[in-house]
Amino acid sequence: MPKDGTPVIFWLSRQDASQLDSLFLHSTLFNVLLRSHTGPFLFEFQRHGVSSEEFSSRWDTFFGQLPKEFLYSVEIRNAGLLGPYYRKVLENNGVAHVYNHWSYMPSLAEQHQRMEERFTALFTVLRFLTPLKMSYEAAKKRAEPYTKLVDELLDMHRTRRDSNTYASISTKITGHWHRKTRAVA
């Protein structure tokens, strides 16, 4: 951290060359900060026609080649991929399944059931994107003009909540980001 307390991300990118010191663009400092301030990398996949076995096999190879010091997660939008083969590949690689609340996915509880009621990593990732069975366009219209909370998700408060949980909540669900943050915290 710079001695003057300036946030590192801003400080590393400042263009005032007259104030450079030994920490400016310091790669070791950047690597330490990256590891300690970066949540999981999230790989998102829309619906597709690839079989669960092929999809999971490709992931197994891919994750085996990535650096181990980072966290990784996979968000699928194809409920047909949820199951033992997909779960085992993620679990063997310490990769989290992203429990997503999205139009065409089953509920969070059903996703967990299809994952044999086991988490695949030491951390959990939740994404609340749209109400279930509601298209993105309908969710957007329902939430506009984003000035008040709309109906909350019943599932939202029944999920794993600890220091190893990363959650992302879209305004398409709640309608207002300030209030949604307080409601979930």
In DSSP notation, 145-180 reads: T-SS--PPPSGGGGS--STTEEEEE-HHHHS-HHHH
Same domain, 30 and 44: no
Give the pLDDT score at 2.
Answer: 43
Same domain, 111 and 159: yes
Same domain, 125 and 162: yes
Whether the pLDDT of residue 113 is over 90: the answer is yes
Give the pLDDT score at 171.
Answer: 59
Same domain, 148 and 58: yes
Whether the pLDDT of residue 26 is over 70: the answer is no
Same domain, 136 and 49: yes
Same domain, 26 and 102: no
Q: Give the C-alpha separation, 166 to 152, whole Å.
A: 19
**3-state SS, residue 87:** helix
Q: In this predicted model, what pLDDT tens digit does every residue of 116-150 receive, in sequence order?
A: 999 999 999 988 877 777 888 888 888 787 777 76
Same domain, 71 and 20: no
Say how many domains are in the chain. 2
Torsions phi, psi of 169, nearest 5?
A: -125, 120
- Mean predicted confidence (pLDDT) in 59-78: 91
Q: Hey, how many other C-beta atoms are within 10 angstroms of the C-beta on 77? A: 17
Whether the pLDDT of residue 72 is over 80: the answer is yes
Same domain, 135 and 52: yes
Same domain, 26 and 107: no
Give the pLDDT score at 28.
Answer: 75
Whether the pLDDT of residue 14 is over 90: the answer is no
Higher-pLDDT residue of 21, 52: 52
171: CB partners within 8 A, 6+ apart: 143, 146, 177, 180
Q: Is 131:156 a contact under the CB 8 Å cutoff?
A: no
Burial of 102 (0-12, 13-18, 19+ CB in 10 A): buried
Same domain, 166 and 136: yes
Same domain, 6 and 23: yes
Give the pLDDT score at 90.
Answer: 96
pTM for the predicted model, two decimal places:
0.68
Domain hosting residue 18, numbered range: 1-37
Q: Hey, how many other C-beta atoms are within 10 angstroms of the C-beta on 26? A: 14
Same domain, 141 and 120: yes
